A = this chain, B = another copy of it.
């Protein structure tokens, strides 16, 4: 059954997360600071102290297209591994754009439309968020402009076409239509772009155009809350409670959506699972970043967010898991990490694709590159269980299908994928540019 409410974890925490700050005044930002970018309902959800927020009927009507999503046991993978562990996965790839992103794109488009907004702007890396928002905007009659990181725009034309089929306008970022983009292009006409630059462009246009607002696909509290439909459904679908829950993290919305409802039960003393985030070696915000106030974008147009960051100037190596290539991390998840509520590990690209192929051949679903990181850790955990003889229950989130990523699989299968290490100097250099 589709949940009737989203779960807001903030009121259940022992201490609240540090607030976003205005970069000039260093004072907490208020609703008036955010009003040019977001509709009032979402600003309210961002700072809400309500534990549960009712999902509007209009949103449920669209969710019904692909929700509830299946919770499946990976019996063939278990057999192939010879593990006594029982592996469950929650599969979000059946959504119209093939990932978990529509879970928040739909309510965001809905609330904007209800408040009279005419169009939304956003950024996208590999294209999963952009296509989700394009889909959602089409449902509620909103214009949609997407700034797509140029490297992806050129190498992933199908994700671009998907947004266009939904009626969105797609700009290669950096683009000449914004000041932020023009400035980057002036310095480097061949810039491949980055998520941070694309955010600057989308925010700039939303702030300047009347009737236009901005939408973000991860990081913020309200986005994470919308994703809790994943964990709420999983809680209801499981016959046995997990000992370990594993999810990949880029901005954090997939992991948070999966774990928050389980964390609620854990904080209430009802269950006691180990929770574990998996990030790519190329972009290790939790494991090698600093917990500090930083900008969410490259140009410094966003409020300052207290988060695990590699520095807003950090440009991750071009791995195929575009959704995990973000210099920062959700402030809410960062706060929970500091409170010791979950662990974090890294996986290399090759380990992840190896897990993806193994999963596809046993379970039948080709995972997107992002969740292959979680699968690599899931397999590692299951193999540890094989050694120790423990029959742990493992739950992971398969947040999207890899039908748009077969070029990457082709690269892996033909032996043309290489792993790079991330030298400490690169992180130190980017962190030396932290504001204040």
Where the two chains meet, the residues of A that have a C-beta atom closer than 8 Å to any C-beta of B are 61-62, 64-66, 70, 72, 75-76, 94, 96, 98, 135, 138-139, 157-159, 161-162, 164-167, 356-357, 360-366, 402-404, 406-407, 409-410, 413
The distance in angstroms between the C-alpha atoms of A365 and B96, with both chains bound, is 5
Q: Do residues A162 and B364 form an inter-chain contact, with CB atoms below 8 A?
A: no
Q: Do residues B76 and A94 form an inter-chain contact, with CB atoms below 8 A?
A: no
Q: Do residues B72 and A65 form an inter-chain contact, with CB atoms below 8 A?
A: yes
Chain B residue nearest to A156 in the complex (CB): B406
CB distance from A165 to the nearest CB of B (A): 5
The distance in angstroms between the C-alpha atoms of A404 and B72, with both chains bound, is 25
* Complex contacts, A64 vs chain B, CB 8 Å: 70, 72
* Complex contacts, A407 vs chain B, CB 8 Å: 157-158, 161
The distance in angstroms between the C-alpha atoms of A117 and B75, with both chains bound, is 23
Q: Do residues B165 and A409 form an inter-chain contact, with CB atoms below 8 A?
A: yes
CB distance from A59 to the nearest CB of B (A): 13
CB distance from A57 to the nearest CB of B (A): 13
* Complex contacts, A70 vs chain B, CB 8 Å: 64-66
* Complex contacts, A366 vs chain B, CB 8 Å: 96, 162, 165-166
Known: A65-B70, A158-B406, A366-B96. A361 touches B76 (CB 8 A): no
The distance in angstroms between the C-alpha atoms of A364 and B95, with both chains bound, is 9
Contacting residue for A138 out of B72, B165, B361, B413, CB 8 A: B361
Contacting residue for A404 out of B62, B94, B357, B403, CB 8 A: B403
Q: Do residues B406 and A403 form an inter-chain contact, with CB atoms below 8 A?
A: no
The distance in angstroms between the C-alpha atoms of A363 and B135, with both chains bound, is 9
Q: Do residues A167 and B96 form an inter-chain contact, with CB atoms below 8 A?
A: no
* Complex contacts, A409 vs chain B, CB 8 Å: 161-162, 164-165
Q: Do residues A162 and B361 form an inter-chain contact, with CB atoms below 8 A?
A: no
* Complex contacts, A361 vs chain B, CB 8 Å: 138, 165-167
Q: What 18 additional pairs, Cβ within 8 angstroms, besides A164-B409, A167-B361?
A: A64-B72, A65-B363, A66-B70, A96-B364, A96-B366, A135-B364, A138-B362, A157-B406, A157-B410, A158-B403, A161-B406, A161-B413, A164-B413, A165-B361, A165-B366, A165-B402, A166-B360, A166-B366
Q: Do residues A65 and B364 form an inter-chain contact, with CB atoms below 8 A?
A: yes
The distance in angstroms between the C-alpha atoms of A402 and B98, with both chains bound, is 11
CB distance from A112 to the nearest CB of B (A): 17
The distance in angstroms between the C-alpha atoms of A360 and B131, with both chains bound, is 12
Q: Do residues A162 and B403 form an inter-chain contact, with CB atoms below 8 A?
A: yes
* Complex contacts, A157 vs chain B, CB 8 Å: 406-407, 410
* Complex contacts, A164 vs chain B, CB 8 Å: 409-410, 413
* Complex contacts, A406 vs chain B, CB 8 Å: 157-159, 161-162, 165
Lowest 3 CB-CB distances: which A-B pairs, in order? A161-B406, A158-B406, A94-B94
Q: Can you spell out 6 A-B residue pairs with CB atoms less than 8 angstroms apart? A: A64-B72, A66-B70, A157-B406, A161-B409, A164-B410, A167-B361
Residue from the set A72, A162, A362 with the largest chain B CB neighbour count within 10 Å: A162
Q: Do residues B357 and A165 form an inter-chain contact, with CB atoms below 8 A?
A: yes
The distance in angstroms between the C-alpha atoms of A72 and B98, with both chains bound, is 18
Residue from the set A62, A75, A164, A356 with the largest chain B CB neighbour count within 10 Å: A164
Chain B residue nearest to A67 in the complex (CB): B70
Residue from the set A157, A162, A165, A357 with the largest chain B CB neighbour count within 10 Å: A165
* Complex contacts, A360 vs chain B, CB 8 Å: 138, 165-166
Q: Do residues B364 and A139 form an inter-chain contact, with CB atoms below 8 A?
A: yes
* Complex contacts, A166 vs chain B, CB 8 Å: 360-361, 364, 366
Q: Do residues B403 and A98 form an inter-chain contact, with CB atoms below 8 A?
A: yes
